[in-house]
Structure 1
């Protein structure tokens, strides 16, 4: 018997299926040398197809890998667009032009003549040194019934203030939470209001409390602010305490009635009570004040000039 006949054949291995081979198992004897096995196994494969360590090189003129043919940033897509809020402010109202060009230097000039603020950048211009603090009071889902079903949006309440006599409240509905917060913050800046401070007893030191008892109502919630002696602190619920802190009031008693669990009405009532501190004049303010022109009259010649809206300041 020959040597080849005495060798007991072993069961050949089963190669994995491949799109380059027919749908059948290739039986390769183990007795074949490695060169023969390599030649037999790869004979039907195209050149370079078995090199799986990396992707094939791009063709000539093709864009770099990962760039998809866009942008200029090392094959990572198009560059990011500039944030519109960070762009240069181009005022579109007369008040905005006066503030941007330095004709109006304080918010008191705006409050004195009750000028409406239509651009939130006007408020930011006066608080560049110490930006306004903001507090998100509540984010709540609201729904509207439509033919297709319920449409859910988010409503945010935001309070802004500098803790030095200025506070504002705003709210906004949007499909996304971030958009609602951003819109509520802008609304709060547009509704910023001065806070009048006073004393409880002896007029020593800086004003520290509300000048008199004031109250306001929103919905079923009524909030009342009562002057407190120095050192008493803010005796108030958490919602109204945050508003009073951002307003700069150090000592105050509060009294509230109604459904205070409805936070939206509660914060509106507190803000309305703070606004009423400037709705009356006490005898100490009964003095003759010199009549001055409003900014619109004082700078009428400047505002009459042609305004180039395309000009970048």
Structure 2
């Protein structure tokens, strides 16, 4: 499921979720840097996220985009619009409930999750964030849930039933 995915970066959807000043105290004083948190997706089921640190904002964003592109993985979507099944995941103090939705309902989620799902290419989903709304924890919990998603063919083969029975048609 966590296959590496490489594509030209010009076709990717890039969303900068946060830019923060960070400092490291050294013997000579404080060293100020910028930390960029980025989500990158191709809009067709592949997505990745990363942090990039540098002295200047454009350099930090570029580093984060390069790392996120290298860490992209494929997520199995139903009709390239929504998820196959509901998922509940937790990361630190953040719990996320990801639910598939009817076609045309749109993405009902907070701003951080919505930008990640837009980069992924999801058209309809409902996501509830419970607990901490820290963007780092929210994205990590979301991606933990996205990695759990399995295609119906794999589930049907493991259970020994047809794909139609798994989907519920």
TM score, norm. by length of structure 2: 0.81
Alignment: residue pair count: 159
Is 1:134 the equivalent of 2:7?
no
Equivalent in the alignment of 2:29: 149
Query: Whose strand fraction is larger, Structure 1's or Structure 2's?
Result: 2
CA–CA distance in structure 2, aligned partners of residues 131 and 207 of structure 1: 17
Equivalent in the alignment of 1:270: 142
SS of the residue aligned with 1:196? coil
Equivalent in the alignment of 1:213: 86
Equivalent in the alignment of 1:224: 97
CA–CA distance in structure 2, aligned partners of residues 273 and 253 of structure 1: 13
> Which structure exhibits the higher relative contact order, with contacts defined as CA atoms closer than 8 Å and separated by 6 or more residues?
2
Given candidates 13, 38, 44, the residue that maps to 1:164 is: 44
In the TM superposition, residue 279 of structure 1 has moved relative to its aligned partner by 8.7
Q: Which runs of 5+ in 1 are unaligned?
A: 1-110, 199-205, 288-313
Deviation readout 1:105-157 (Å, 9 max, x if unpaired): xxxxxx6xx66x5xxxx713xx48x7212111111111222233322211111
TM score, norm. by length of structure 1: 0.46
CA–CA distance in structure 1, aligned partners of residues 88 and 64 of structure 2: 24
Is 1:247 the equivalent of 2:130?
no
SS of the residue aligned with 2:36? strand
Displacement over 6 Å in runs of 4+? none
Deviation readout 1:256-310 (Å, 9 max, x if unpaired): 11220x22222222222222213994226767xxxxxxxxxxxxxxxxxxxxxxx
Equivalent in the alignment of 1:234: 107
SS of the residue aligned with 1:278? coil
RMSD: 2.5
SS of the residue aligned with 1:240? helix
SS of the residue aligned with 2:82? coil
CA–CA distance in structure 2, aligned partners of residues 182 and 223 of structure 1: 29
In the TM superposition, residue 207 of structure 1 has moved relative to its aligned partner by 4.7
- Is the CA contact (8 Å cut-off) linking 1:135 and 1:159 kept in structure 2? yes
